[in-house]
Amino acid sequence: MPPRPGQANGSPELVVLLPPSEGKAIGGDGPAWTADTGQFAALARQRARIGSALARARGGNERLLGVGGAHLDRARVANCELKTGPPSRPAAERYTGVVYDHLDLASLSRTARQRASASIIVLSGLLGAVGIDDPTPDYRLKMGASLAPLGKLSSWWRPTLSAALNERLAGCFVVDLLPQEHRAAWLPEPGGCTLVKVSFVERDGKVAGHDAKAAKGLLVRHLMQSTGDSRRALERFAHERFTLDLHRVEC
């Protein structure tokens, strides 16, 4: 059997975990979004509960959504429209921002783009998990937000999302590029996968912050374009400003 696009001969399948972007492309010309769409359709019940909670909250306020003014108005409208089946975009087009700009999926070769489709999973406060080709609505909701009556979403999602992710990631080589609030939503299953948590470090040894987002996108692009062993590809990544701190976790 030939390897999957995210897998090199003789090596585990690669999976890269990414957060969504706060900025999102508006509108869409894809099929109407429903909670049971995409490769993680098993999360439909949880997605629907979040949609109902957002509707009761009238889309959310400034404290919940973390924005004000026109951005808040747009976010509230998008969140309230979830239950009516808004037009979708693939997650690869919905999520914008520095990481996704530098990953630049649209410019990848056909082979690398197929590998990205098979390999990249985005963890989301609304959706739980989504593949980059999955239909995705416009919305705004952070994984670290507290949404009544569910509570903090990272904690609320953890049991169901962990079960779905652990089933998908079994036997895989997983590169975790998640912020802590997204990591808190997933409890890896012992013995289930090979997991490497990646941090970006400045040349002076300080852990990098927002400035490393571009490098994160470039790293994912590098992994999608690499055809050999993903572990070696990860170790080969070079950046003029940052180095990688690779923390392997036995899971």
Would you give per-residue pLDDT tens digits along the chain (251 residues)?
344 555 555 679 999 999 999 989 999 999 999 999 999 999 999 999 999 999 999 999 999 999 999 999 999 999 999 999 999 999 999 999 999 999 999 999 999 999 999 999 999 999 999 999 999 999 999 999 999 999 999 999 999 999 999 999 999 999 999 999 999 999 999 888 999 999 999 988 888 888 899 999 999 999 999 988 999 999 999 999 999 999 998 76
Residue 198 identity (one-letter amino acid): V
Residue 22 lies in a domain: yes
**What was the pLDDT predicted at 228?**
87
What residues contact 176, with CB distance under 8 A and at least 6 apart? 17, 183, 195, 196, 197, 198
Within-domain flag for 96: yes
Which pLDDT does position 49 carry in this prediction? 97
> What was the pLDDT predicted at 3?
47
Q: Find the helix or strand (DSSP H, E) in which 218 lies.
A: helix 213-225
Q: How far apart are CA 99 and CA 251, in angstroms?
A: 27
Q: Which pLDDT value is given to residue 227?
A: 87
**Residue 1 falls within a domain, yes or no?**
no
pLDDT reported for residue 2: 40
Tokens of 9: 């001969």
Domain residues for the domain of 117 are 14-250
Please report, as a single letter, which amino acid is at residue 177.
L
Counted domains in the chain: 1
Q: Assess if residue 3 is contained within a domain.
A: no
Note the pTM of the prediction, 2 decimals.
0.94
